[in-house]
């Protein structure tokens, strides 16, 4: 509760007499919360936020303003915003009934004006934000998002925060290269598979990463190497010479986690962890 003090002054014949000091309390009737529908984020993902406001008072709270800092933080004496409001995504409910959208200033910061909370009722604001290039992507990174509710009807602004963490997961992709692209009959050919990990954690044996390919035309394999080290069958891979199906043994492919660097302009660059599998043979 907010407290206040007051006293009176009585003046007469050039003299002043002060009264005693009285102390009172203002019961704040507005409470609220801010939550994300998912507790994590990744590069380029979308986050949905829900602001819930509850008015326990007998009078409506009208014309409130909600200001969202979109995760603002300081870097090299400049403000960076890891979140960007998606224009047109806002929904506004009063006592569970969808209302016309209040005035929205995209910002940053995001400013939502003209929010009303009914007496003994509630208001809910839902909106979406994109994760920007300024969102930290290192392991255990977080975005703390702060919203402030203010207005003439409130003695003090109401502050609401929500923190989400970077998603700790694997993000693998694979590319395949052929050399040479033109080969004589019974000539040698090299397939190179490059596996990249854009995630914050490495791919380890327990993840059972498996690569499968059907070589057509069927390949007479002469060597297989992973990250420059020779592989043998059936310890590391299996190969069906009748069908051309090549399969690595689950868990043999491991890939380091990505490394993340914050550039001088505040943006983040992700350098994927890389693993390479080379299969050589004759067709």
| pLDDT in the model for residue 2 | 61
Domain boundary residue among 108, 135, 166? 166
Q: Indicate if 146 and 275 belong to the same structural domain.
A: no
| pLDDT in the model for residue 26 | 57
**Residue 282 near residue 228, CB atoms below 8 Å:** no
- Measuring CA to CA, which residue among 39, 130, 36 is closest to residue 82? 130
Q: Indicate if 58 and 158 belong to the same structural domain.
A: yes
Summarised one tens digit per residue, pLDDT across range 113-131 is 999 999 999 999 999 999 9
What sign does the dihedral 108-113-119-125 (CA atoms) show?
A: negative
Summarised one tens digit per residue, pLDDT across range 42-78 is 999 999 999 999 999 999 999 999 999 999 999 999 9
- Is residue 81, in this structure, part of any structural domain at all? yes
Structural domain span for residue 278: 172-282
- Is residue 246, in this structure, part of any structural domain at all? yes
Q: Indicate if 206 and 150 belong to the same structural domain.
A: no
Listed in sequence order, the residues at least 6 apart from 26 whose beta carbon sits closer than 8 Å to its beta carbon are 1, 2, 3, 4, 155
pTM of the model: 0.81
| pLDDT in the model for residue 278 | 98
Q: Residue 33 belongs to a domain with what CATH number?
A: 2.60.40.740
Domain boundary residue among 102, 137, 166? 166
* Structural domain total, the chain: 2
| pLDDT in the model for residue 1 | 55
Task: Tell me: pLDDT of 25 over 70.
Answer: no
Q: Indicate if 108 and 187 belong to the same structural domain.
A: no
| pLDDT in the model for residue 264 | 94
Q: Indicate if 34 and 125 belong to the same structural domain.
A: yes
Split at pLDDT 50, 70, 90, the class of 24 is low
Domain boundary residue among 120, 135, 166? 166
Split at pLDDT 50, 70, 90, the class of 176 is very high
Q: Indicate if 151 and 36 belong to the same structural domain.
A: yes
Q: Residue 219 belongs to a domain with what CATH number?
A: 2.60.40
Q: Indicate if 104 and 226 belong to the same structural domain.
A: no
Listed in sequence order, the residues at least 6 apart from 265 whose beta carbon sits closer than 8 Å to its beta carbon are none
């Amino acid at each position: 509760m907010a407290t206040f003090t007051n006293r009176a002054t009585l003046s007469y014949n050039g003299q002043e007499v002060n009264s005693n000091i009285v102390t009172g309390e203002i019961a704040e009737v507005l409470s609220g919360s801010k939550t994300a529908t998912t507790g994590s984020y990744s590069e380029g993902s979308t986050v949905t936020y829900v602001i819930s406001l509850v008015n326990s008072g007998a009078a409506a709270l009208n014309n409130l303003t909600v200001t969202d800092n979109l995760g603002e933080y300081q870097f090299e004496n400049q403000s960076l915003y890891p979140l960007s409001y998606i224009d047109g995504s806002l929904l506004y409910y009063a006592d569970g009934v969808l209302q016309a959208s209040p005035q929205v200033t995209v910002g940053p910061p995001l400013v939502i004006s003209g929010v009303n909370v009914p007496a003994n009722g509630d208001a809910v604001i839902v909106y979406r934000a994109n994760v920007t290039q300024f969102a930290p992507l290192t392991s255990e990174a977080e975005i703390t998002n702060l919203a402030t509710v203010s207005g003439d009807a409130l003695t003090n602004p109401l502050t609401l925060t929500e923190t989400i963490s970077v998603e700790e997961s694997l993000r693998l992709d694979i590319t395949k290269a052929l050399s040479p692209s033109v080969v004589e009959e019974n000539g040698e050919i090299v397939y190179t598979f490059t596996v990249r990990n854009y995630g914050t954690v490495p791919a380890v044996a327990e993840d059972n990463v498996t690569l499968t390919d059907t070589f057509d035309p069927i390949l007479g394999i002469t060597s297989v190497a992973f990250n420059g080290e020779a592989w043998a069958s059936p310890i590391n891979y299996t190969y069906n010479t009748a069908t051309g199906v090549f399969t690595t043994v689950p868990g043999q492919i491991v890939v380091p986690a990505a490394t993340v660097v914050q550039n001088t302009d505040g943006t983040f660059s992700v350098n994927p962890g890389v693993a390479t599998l080379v299969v050589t043979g004759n067709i």
